[in-house]
């Protein structure tokens, strides 16, 4: 059974979850995990990375994360790489993200599926993929593996892109539109 994440109080109303790690720290953690958990055939556990903004966490996100973790098995690590607030603004517009990075990380870590969260300032997860060399890069079913920007890079490291979750019947953009109509 996983331990609950420890929350570090930095100052009033500002918390950093202890499983939110910068890329250098999580890279070392992943390297050590791979080395320490080889099976009898010398195969390391699956490292699964899911990247995106995850602005308003919804059931589509949860279903994708649940399916990804289930596919990887108990020994896998599921790491969510979040776009920073500035990256989200560039990709989605000035009004986004609705939820700031630290709060998005805390919400994701509160699920039983996510082991760690990291973040990136760029508009793509290329640097995260280069550092972590995931076995699997997960996207939602609204993507096709062949259309994922980072696919070639993932395949360069002998990984693959997989799409999990429900069809695109849930989206943050749709939720925001519904709220605006109220």
Predicted confidence band of residue 5 (pLDDT cuts 50, 70, 90) = very low
Q: Could you give the percent of the chain with pLDDT greater than 70?
A: 91
Residues 47-69 have a mean pLDDT of: 95
Predicted confidence band of residue 135 (pLDDT cuts 50, 70, 90) = very high
Q: Could you give the percent of the chain with pLDDT greater than 90?
A: 70
Instruction: Write down the pTM of the prediction.
Output: 0.88
Predicted confidence band of residue 9 (pLDDT cuts 50, 70, 90) = very low
- Cβ contacts of 93 within 8 Å, gap of 6 or more: none
Give me the chain's average pLDDT, please: 89
56-65 pLDDT tens trace: 999 999 999 9
User: What does the alpha-carbon distance between residue 57 and residue 37 come to, in Å, rounded to a whole number?
Assistant: 31
- HEC readout, 92-119: HCCCCCCCCHHHHHHHHHCCCCCCEEEE
Task: Please indicate whether residue 10 or residue 179 has the higher confidence score (pLDDT).
Answer: 179
DSSP H helices, the chain, are 23-36, 59-72, 85-92, 101-109, 126-132, 151-156, 172-181
Residue 11 above 50 pLDDT? Answer: no
Which pLDDT score, from 0 to 100, does residue 142 have?
Answer: 85
Place of tokens 């589509």: 60
* Secondary structure (3-state) at 12: coil
Predicted confidence band of residue 7 (pLDDT cuts 50, 70, 90) = very low
13-36 pLDDT tens trace: 556 778 999 999 999 999 999 999
Pick the CATH number of 8-181 from 3.40.50.620, 1.20.1440.130, 3.40.50.1000, 3.40.50.720: 3.40.50.620
Which among 76, 34, 42, 43 has a CA at the least distance from the CA of 162? 76
């Amino acid at each position: 059974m996983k331990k609950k994440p420890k929350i570090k109080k930095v100052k009033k109303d500002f918390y950093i979850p202890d499983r939110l790690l910068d890329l250098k720290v999580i890279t070392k953690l992943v390297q050590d995990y791979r080395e320490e958990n080889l099976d009898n055939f010398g195969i390391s556990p699956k490292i699964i990375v899911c990247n995106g903004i995850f602005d308003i966490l919804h059931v589509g996100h949860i279903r994708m994360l649940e399916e990804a973790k289930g596919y990887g098995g108990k020994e896998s690590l599921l790491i969510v790489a979040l776009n920073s607030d500035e990256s989200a603004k560039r990709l989605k517009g000035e009004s986004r993200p609705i939820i700031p990075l630290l709060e998005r990380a805390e919400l994701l870590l509160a699920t039983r599926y996510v082991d760690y969260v990291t973040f990136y300032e760029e508009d793509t997860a290329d640097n995260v993929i280069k550092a972590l060399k995931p076995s699997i890069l997960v996207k939602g079913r609204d993507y096709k593996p062949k259309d994922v920007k980072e696919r070639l890079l993932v395949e360069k490291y002998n990984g693959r892109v997989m799409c999990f979750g429900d069809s695109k019947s849930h989206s943050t953009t749709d939720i925001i539109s519904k709220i605006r109509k109220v």
